[in-house]
Amino acid sequence: MNARSEAVTKVGNRDAPLDLEAIFRLRYCRIARVIARVIRDPGRSEELAVEVFLKWSRNPKAQGSRADGWLYRTAVRMGLDELRRASRRSRYGFLLGIIGGPPTPEQIRSDREDQERVRSVLGTLKRRQAGLLVLRSEGLSYDELASALGLNPASVGTLLSRAQHAFRREYTRRYGNP
């Protein structure tokens, strides 16, 4: 298992009463980090992570043994949705929020540019491919990816490889040969 990854433990028995605070404290930082990979703004990532847990607490089907997968899946989906919304806004010139805003010295640094390029490419990929790449970069193992995205563990490697190819293809198409 990747050293950076926490084990995707089963956060409870389906029949056990929901201990929201325990699960929240155990998972919140990780979920916020996953979202922060997709969008730029850490503050907004924390807000979206709270939204993820709010939805989770209202969805009995997502609780129990399915909790981890559901939380990661929803975190990636909400991050990508936010990213796409911001991309649409910026397309129409409203450069506000997580992608936009007036350029700062920090933003014009090349590493920042690279982040934005990666994010814009992720925003164009299929949701599952983007989710695989984001969660893999967060350090989830193949088993954890399978659990989080509801995949067959045997096919995670193939799907991840396809996602990487798709990512490179789109990146090259947009920004030239790296």
Each residue 116-155 as x (binds other proteins by CB under 8 A) or -, in order, gives -xxx-------------xx-xx------------------
Tokens of 156: 């995670």
What is the distance in angstroms between the CA of the first residue and the CA of the last residue of the chain? 30
- Residue 33 lies near other proteins (rule: CB under 8 A): yes
| 37 scored as a contact of other proteins (CB under 8 A) | yes
The footprint of other proteins on residues 68-97 (CB under 8 A) is none
H/E element holding 25? helix 20-38
Q: Which stretch binds other proteins (CB under 8 A): 10-18, 42-50, 94-102, 145-153?
A: 42-50
Separation between Cα atoms, residue 78 and residue 66, nearest integer Å:
18
- Chain centroid to Cα 155, Å, comes to 20
Of 92 and 155, which CB lies nearer to other proteins in the complex structure? 155
Interface pick for other proteins out of 88, 126, 168, 174 (rule CB under 8 A): 168
Q: Which of 8, 11, 44, 45 binds other proteins (CB under 8 A)?
A: 45
Q: Which tokens sit at 86?
A: 């911001």
Residues in the chain: 178
- Tell me, by CB under 8 A, how many residues bind other proteins: 38
Q: Name which of 92 and 99 has its Cβ closer to other proteins.
A: 99
Burial of 144 (0-12, 13-18, 19+ CB in 10 A): buried
Q: What is the dihedral of CA 120, 125, 131, 133, to 10 degrees?
A: -70
Encoded tokens for 73: 């899946």
Residues that bind other proteins (CB under 8 A): 20-21, 24-25, 28-29, 32-33, 36-38, 42, 45-46, 49-50, 53-54, 57-58, 111, 114-115, 117-119, 133-134, 136-137, 161, 164-165, 167-168, 171, 177-178
